[in-house]
Every structure is written in C-alpha cells, then in structure tokens.
Amino acid sequence: MIAFTAKTMYTPLERIEEPLLIVEDGFISEVTSRSRREIPEHCQHFDFAGAVLAPAFIDIHIHGGAGHDVMEGDPVSLHAFEKLMASHGVGNYLPTTVTAPVEVTLSALGRLADTIEQGADCSEGRARPLGIHLEGPFISHVRRGVHPPENLLLPSLKAFDRFWDAARGYIRMMTIAPELPGAQEVIAEAVKRGVCVSLGHSDADMGSTRTAVAAGARHATHAFNAMRPLDHRHPGILGEVLTDSHLSADIIADGIHLDPAIVDLFLKIKGVESAVLITDATAATGMPEGRYRLGALDVEVRGGKCLSNGKLAGSVLTMDHAVRNVMQFARWDLQQSLRLATLNPARVAGLDTGGCLKPRSPANILVLNREGEIQKTIMGGVCNF
C-alpha cells in the first residue's frame, strides 16, 4: 500500500485540499483528505508538499515522438516514444495512423493491436495504448493536409471491415469526411461497433455535417485545421462544430496551428465540457530540428513547425505544454485546463477508468506546480521521473 499526499488535488472535477490518495497494486483504492482519514500505518508514504496532484493526461491523437512513428510498430520504437510521452505527463494514448497504401495500413494496425494486447508496464514509466485512432484514408482530397492523395479512399463497409479486422476491433476513433459518398453508411456501422466517429479533413457543408451527426458522429478532429473555413453566409462544417452542443471537438493548442485568440474563442464557445486537447505530435517531438517521418512522409522541423512540402504536418507539441498554453491563451485556471487533457478525452474515447482520480482507476498521477509544470509522474503507482 502506498499513500500520496500534497497541498491540493484536482480529480479533475473535484478540488480536494490536503488530499490523501491511497494506491494498492497499481490502482487507486481510496481518494480522500487528511482531515477525514489518517495515513494508514505500515504503508509507504510520499508527500509532495505545496504541489498539486492530478490525473495523467490522455492523448487521443498522436503520431509519434522521440524519433519514432507509431506506424513503425516495433517494440523498441514504441517504448522510446512511450517513455517520452510519460515524461510529459501522458498515461494513456491512441496511436494515430496517417494515410498510407492499404497494405501498409493493415500491417501497422496489426502491429498496434499486438502492442495493445501485450500492454505496457506502467512501472517502467511508459504511456499505455488503449486503442487506435484511424485518421484517413476516408478523408477529403480538398482538405487532406499532407495525407498522400494517391492513398485516399472513398468510404465503404468493405474497406472499413478490412481495417477493423486488421486492428482486431481496437479502433476507438476514426476521422472521416462526412461529405464523401458512402460516408454515412460507414459512420453508422462504426458507431454500432463503439467507435467514436470524428469529423475532420473535410470540405463538408453544414447539411452534410448535420447528416453525419444524425448518423452518430459526435466529435471533430483538430477544429479549424484541415476543414472548410467558417463563412458568414455558408458556415459549413465549422458552423456545426461550433454551434452544436452535442459535438465535442479537439484542437492543437501550440500557438502555430491556431492563433492564441482562436484558441480563446474556441474554448469560450465549446466550454470546459466539450473541448479536448490533442498534440497531433510526430516523430520529431522531443528531438532537435531536422528531418523525420510521418507515416510514409518526410517532414522537417524548423522553428517549432513540423512541415512537409511547406505545409503543416502535425506538431512537436507535448500535452503538458498544451495545458499551460490554455492557461495563457484563454486565462483558464489549472483545474479547468487539466480537464481538457484528462477527463474529456477519456470520455470521447470511451475510456471508463481513465482521466480521473477515483477508486479502481489506474494510479497514473501527475505532481504539478501551480503553473502546470510537471514535477514528477507516477505511473501504476510508481514514481518514475
């Protein structure tokens, strides 16, 4: 049994002063305060005086880091990448594919399914994958970003089934352009299988977007980026994303993909319950400037920007930095900002035990200062960094 104490804890829904968090066998067994309960005798005790305890982050859209791309899929690459993520506070993640030839994607999905089934030893200080985010190939040529045009596909149940079978049912999210022929049928089927269907890389008008929402789509991928711009007479997909309270949406809050004023505007509109932070991080994350891979693409990092043929190609953002950017750009407090990287992505991805400090949840815990800077990460109840 291990007891953790600190100045404050954000669960993140609840604020607890002088918290007492008890962990057994890598899971939280009790969440209380020192005013209500004595520290149990004969247990290991870690006191983080003056600090804040919070749940570890969840990244539902990430392509790589530490020089490695998730589609490589080999254990050595993933372990290095997962350790980097954990050092920046990420406890769980959805490895995210990028459009590639079908056979390459199928192979990558199989390797990622192997990794999920093998699990990650949190005591080693590694983030753990809990599902897969299929980004592409069912996306718009007009709003494809850097996804290779020759590998894009029209949505079909046959193609979706091939991806689903290769991933052995571990696809938790899928980004799709709702205006494409066949999209509505695929959306409906994916929803039946428990997939969070996310609208993105899309040139959809408002009507197509609303039809997709009626079919079960409930999220939007990196809002504003790779989608039709907002027009005051033809509001398009963004008009629906920003006005439909039933749609959650994520953003890349690095100050590059979105101006800080737009981050502020987005958060004012979607609010603390419907906004999610993602990194869209690539293999270049945590690495010096230079050339790296994003799936089959060559990308170059210069001045904090990740580029392919002059276009933005993911990011080098880390989740702890994204949380601090929200505090700066939107002037949100730490508790509100943490929710966008913990509970909200867990709910979007259907992760019942993640993103919140509560009994029976994995003991993936962050020790932060008041500015949101990570002082230590605790994965599976073990202090790692």
Whole-number Å distance between alpha carbons of 318 and 230? 28
Indicate which residue of 69, 203, 280, 320 is catalytic.
280
Give which of 51, 85, 67 is closest to 278, Cα–Cα: 85
Which amino acid makes up residue 201?
A: H
Decide: helix, strand or coil at residue 204.
coil
Q: What is the distance of C-alpha 319 from the center of its chain?
A: 9
ω before 40 within 30° of 0 (cis)? no
Q: Taking a C-beta distance cutoff of 8 angstroms, is the pair 82, 128 a contact? A: yes
280 classed as catalytic = yes
Whole-number Å distance between alpha carbons of 200 and 136? 9
Side by side, which strands form the sheet with 132-135?
132-135, 171-176, 196-199, 219-220, 248-252, 275-278
Diameter of the chain measured on Cα atoms: 67
Residues taking part in catalysis:
280
